[in-house]
Structure 1
Amino acid sequence: MAYKDEQLNEEKVFKDPVHRYIHVRDRVIWDLIATPEFQRLRRIKQLGTTNLTFHGAEHSRFNHSLGVYEIVRRIIYNFKDRAHWNNDERLLCLCAALLHDLGHGPFSHSFEKVFKLDHEYFTQQIILGDTYVHGILERVRPGFAQDVADVIGKTYSDKLVVSLISSQIDADRMDYLQRDAYFTGVSYGHFDMERILRVMRPTEDQVVIKSSGMHAVEDYIMSRYQMYWQVYFHPVTRSAEVILSKILHRAKDLYENNYEFKLKPTHFLSFFSGDVSLAEYLKLDEGIVHYYFQLWQEEDDFILRDLCERFINRRLFKYVEFNPNKQMNEWMKLHKLFQEIGIDPEYYLVVDSSSDLPYDFYRPGEEEERLPIHLLMPGGGLKELSRHSDIVESISGKKRTDHKLYFPKDILENIEDQKKAKEIKEILYGQGDVFDAK
Structure 2
Amino acid sequence: MTPTLLEEEKVFKDPVHRYIHVRYKTIWDLIDTPEFQRLRRIRQLGTTMFTFHGAEHSRFNHSLGVYEIMRRIVTKLEVLTEEERLLCLCSALLHDVGHGPFSHTFEKVFKTDHEEWTRRIIEGETEIRRVLSEVSADFPKKVSEVIGKTYPNKMIVSLISSQIDADRMDYLLRDAYYTGVNYGNFDIERILRLMRPAEEQIAIKYSGMHAVEDYIVSRYQMYWQVYFHPVTRSAEVILKKLFQRAKLLYDCNYHFRIFPEPLVPFFKDGPAKLRQYLDLDEATVIYYIREWKREEDTILSDLAERFMNRRLFKYIQYQPLDYLMWTDLQGLFEDAGLDPAYYLEFDSPSDLPYDFYRSGEEEEERLPILLLMPDGSLEELSRKSDIVQSISGKRRFDHKLYFPEDRITDEIRKRLGVN
Shift of 1:324: 0.3
Shift of 1:79: 1.5
Aligned counterparts, 1:28-39, within 5 A? 28-39=26-37
Aligned counterparts, 1:57-68, within 5 A? 57-68=55-66
1:208 maps to which residue?
Answer: 203
- The amino acid of 1:69's aligned partner reads Y
Structure 1 residue runs of 4 or more that deviate by more than 2 Å after TM superposition: 84-88, 363-368
SS at match of 1:284: coil
1:15 & 1:78 partners in 2: Cα distance?
Answer: 23
2:31 & 2:202 partners in 1: Cα distance?
Answer: 27
Cα RMSD after superposing both structures: 1.1
Residues 400-409 or 358-367, more deviating: 358-367
1:30 & 1:87 partners in 2: Cα distance?
Answer: 17
Shift of 1:250: 0.1
Structure 2 unaligned blocks of 5 or more? none
Of 227, 231, 244, the residue aligned with 1:249 is: 244
Shift of 1:85: 3.6
SS at match of 1:182: helix
2:392 maps to which residue?
Answer: 396
Shift of 1:252: 0.1
- The amino acid of 2:248's aligned partner reads D
Of 420, 424, 431, the residue aligned with 2:412 is: 424
Q: Does residue 280 of structure 1 match 2:276?
A: yes
Aligned counterparts, 1:160-199, within 5 A? 160-199=155-194
1:363 & 1:27 partners in 2: Cα distance?
Answer: 43
1:215 & 1:320 partners in 2: Cα distance?
Answer: 37
User: Aligned residues, how many?
Assistant: 417
Q: Does residue 239 of structure 1 match 2:227?
A: no
1:62 & 1:379 partners in 2: Cα distance?
Answer: 42
1:130 & 1:173 partners in 2: Cα distance?
Answer: 29
Shift of 1:9: 1.3
Shift of 1:86: 3.8
Shift of 1:87: 4.1
Aligned counterparts, 1:84-103, within 5 A? 84-103=79-98
Contact 1:321/1:404 (8 A) holds in 2: yes
Aligned counterparts, 1:1-150, within 5 A? 5-80=3-78, 84-150=79-145
SS at match of 2:349: strand
1:223 & 1:422 partners in 2: Cα distance?
Answer: 42
1:25 & 1:87 partners in 2: Cα distance?
Answer: 13
1:387 & 1:283 partners in 2: Cα distance?
Answer: 48
SS at match of 1:140: coil
Q: Does residue 384 of structure 1 match 2:406?
A: no
What TM-score do the two structures reach when normalised by structure 2?
Answer: 0.98
1:220 & 1:422 partners in 2: Cα distance?
Answer: 47
2:259 maps to which residue?
Answer: 264
Shift of 1:142: 0.9
Contact 1:85/1:202 (8 A) holds in 2: no
1:418 maps to which residue?
Answer: none
1:356 & 1:422 partners in 2: Cα distance?
Answer: 35
SS at match of 1:25: strand
2:280 & 2:353 partners in 1: Cα distance?
Answer: 32
Give deviations 1:125-164, integer Å, cap 9, x for gaps.
Answer: 0000000000111110011000000000000000010010
Shift of 1:62: 0.2
Give deviations 1:159-202, integer Å, cap 9, x for gaps.
Answer: 01001000000000000000000000000000000000011001
Residues 5-14 or 349-358, more deviating: 5-14
Give deviations 1:292-314, integer Å, cap 9, x for gaps.
Answer: 00100000000000000000000
Shift of 1:53: 0.3
1:288 & 1:41 partners in 2: Cα distance?
Answer: 13
What TM-score do the two structures reach when normalised by structure 1?
Answer: 0.94
Of 279, 294, 297, the residue aligned with 1:301 is: 297
- The amino acid of 1:353's aligned partner reads S
SS at match of 2:98: coil
Give deviations 1:273-323, integer Å, cap 9, x for gaps.
Answer: 033111100000000000000100000000000000000000000010011
Shift of 1:366: 2.7
Q: Does residue 351 of structure 1 match 2:360?
A: no
1:417 maps to which residue?
Answer: none
Q: Once the two structures are aligned, what percentage of the paired residues are identical? A: 65
- The amino acid of 1:281's aligned partner reads Y
- The amino acid of 2:228's aligned partner reads F
Q: Does residue 324 of structure 1 match 2:320?
A: yes
Contact 2:368/2:381 (8 A) holds in 1: yes
- The amino acid of 2:348's aligned partner reads S
1:373 maps to which residue?
Answer: 369
1:382 & 1:138 partners in 2: Cα distance?
Answer: 38
- The amino acid of 2:167's aligned partner reads D
1:278 & 1:18 partners in 2: Cα distance?
Answer: 32
Shift of 1:106: 0.2
- The amino acid of 2:413's aligned partner reads K
Shift of 1:210: 0.3
Give deviations 1:384-433, integer Å, cap 9, x for gaps.
Answer: 00000000000000000111100001112xxxxxxxx332111111xxx6
Shift of 1:367: 2.5
Structure 1 unaligned blocks of 5 or more? 413-420
1:198 & 1:6 partners in 2: Cα distance?
Answer: 27
